[in-house]
Amino acid sequence: MAATTDDTEEHTGTPVPSPRRARRRMGPVATAISFFGELLITAGLVLGLFVAYSLWWTNVVADRAADKQAEKVRDHWAQESGGGGPVSFDSKDGIGFLHVPTMSGDEILVEKGTSMKVLNDGVAGYYTEPVKATLPTSGKKGNFSLAAHRDGHGAKFHGIHKIEKGDPIVFETKDTWYVYKVYGILPETSKFNVDVLSKIPKESGKTKAGHYITLTTCTPVYTSTYRYVVWGELVRTQKVDEERTLPEELA
């Protein structure tokens, strides 16, 4: 087999300097630039790995945790329906499931609280502070205010921008489907604007007490600078039958 042309010491007799030897022959400025370039490449790789972790792997971990908790909730419901011991509605496992077809095809487990410890498990949490949410199961007028991550950790509200006025939001409990209709959207507001969580949510257009639901999350995408807000109003309820037949809004 014929030998190929190669700029190596073996074929040309000219030694090829190693990267370290070549760097020694460079001037101080060129050496510094070369070293800085290598640092940038390394930093880029580390940053890329961090982004992959934040936007992909945290979703995987959170979805697994949420699925596990969701199974517990439905198991509790089944035990209670089957004549087992009573199950606390406001349990540590979750209180129900949120369904928003235009935002996501998945059911979203709802738990108590909006701390990172809660939301990082890939769920939506209802506010306990600074303004306490009014649970629909209480029968009282008020605002069932919720939060969830938009990116990473399950990103349950990632598609919140797809929601439009008139779209349904359905909250599922063991016994009842609560069907809301979106009436207001605030694409951007301060993260400190707690008035949007009020019993009569400010800036939503409503001036009288009612049965409201509020979804909040970070915006713009991949940041936490502002808050995106969606408001809905309860239009009807539907009792859960033995087959757990879906409301027509979800069918």
Query: Where in the sequence numbering do the catalytic residues fall?
Result: 218
CA torsion, points 103, 106, 109, 114, in degrees to nearest 10? -30
Residues 6+ apart with CB under 8 A from 237: 176, 177, 178, 179
Residue 86 to residue 80: CA distance in whole angstroms: 6
Residues 6+ apart with CB under 8 A from 245: none
The amino acid that residue 74 corresponds to is R
CB 146 within 8 A of CB 98: yes
